[in-house]
Amino acid sequence: MSVRLAVLSDVHGNASALEAVRKAIKKDKPDLVFVAGDLAMNGPDPAGAIDTIRAMESEGAIVVQGNTDVAVADADYAAAFPWLLETGVSDAIRLAAEWAHDALDDEQLAWLRRLPAERRVRIGETLVLLTHASPGSQTQGFDRDLDPTAILERIARTDARVICCGHTHVPEVRDFGWKIIVNDGSAGYVFDGDPTASWALVTIDGEDVSPEIRRTEFDALAVANAISARGLPGDVYRAATVRTGKLVR
């Protein structure tokens, strides 16, 4: 029996992009929906994004926590951004996390804190892992320039054959035969130069696993303008990133 799984992540407070992706997913009518974290920070509407994801969860979506969700919920910057321990977390990052925190009410923050770091689903004989960055980590992702030995070490941390993740904001599928990495990219803050929202649709039919990256348009200019109007340090770069689909900093 064939099972179809939709995967999205890295909404980053972009409720407009999320709504567009949600509509696109509903048209495809998948059997399961995965949401791989980083839900509120950077974009102009953290509360709207969280409300939509919670509505999706009530409809059966499985949601895990990302590293920036830790920053927003509890201001644990060392846990959220360990690669910045030597240089220190910038005011731009800290103030964006604080702004998103203040935009959420107590119930939304409590929900964000309760999210698990990982979830696993067995589809027939195929074990599927949902994680933000990589097995066992919310911060160590599958970057394109990552050394192959590091990739193999990270995928070996789980018995799951299919690893669904985000974190890098660059959508791609890596098929190693024994394991498949499905990185959906970002439903709101993508870095690959295409200013649309990216997500993934994975079809599992027995031992056959067929992932595809999907792109969904949203009003990137309107979202970029809303970020610019907020006026936080770094917002000019965040707005340019949303507008161009390329990381600007």
| Tens of pLDDT, residues 172-197 | 999 999 999 999 999 999 999 999 99
Q: What is the DSSP string of 7-44?
A: EE---TT-HHHHHHHHHHHHHH--SEEEE-S--SSSSS
Report the pLDDT value the prediction gives residue 15, as an integer from 0 to 100: 98
Q: Is residue 249 part of a domain?
A: no
- What is the pLDDT averaged over residues 211-225? 98
Is residue 1 pLDDT above 90, yes or no? no
Q: Is residue 150 part of a domain?
A: yes
Cα separation, 200 vs 71, whole angstroms: 26
Which residues in 94-127 are b (16+ Cβ under 10 Å) and which e?
bebbebbbebbeeebbebbeebebbbebebeebe
Is residue 47 pLDDT above 90, yes or no? yes
The tally of domains found in the chain comes to: 1
Mean of the per-residue pLDDT values for the chain? 97
Q: What is the largest CA-CA distance in the chain?
A: 51
Going by the DSSP 8-state scheme, the letter that residue 62 receives in this structure is E
Q: Is residue 116 part of a domain?
A: yes
Q: Is residue 133 part of a domain?
A: yes
Q: How many CB atoms lie within 10 A of CB 138?
A: 24
Q: Which domain holds residue 203?
A: 2-244
Percentage of the chain beyond pLDDT 70 is 100
Rg (CA), the chain: 17
- What is the pLDDT averaged over residues 63-82? 98
Going by the DSSP 8-state scheme, the letter that residue 203 receives in this structure is E
CATH for 181: 3.60.21.10
How many CA atoms lie within 13 Å of 214's alpha carbon, on the beta-carbon side? 22
Report the pLDDT value the prediction gives residue 182, as an integer from 0 to 100: 98
Residues 6+ apart with CB under 8 A from 53: 11, 18, 35, 39, 61, 63
The three-state secondary structure class of 124 is: coil
The angle that helices 46-58 and 106-114 make with each other, rounded to 10 degrees, is 60
At 74-103, the pLDDT tens digits run 999 999 999 999 999 999 999 999 999 999
Going by the DSSP 8-state scheme, the letter that residue 178 receives in this structure is S
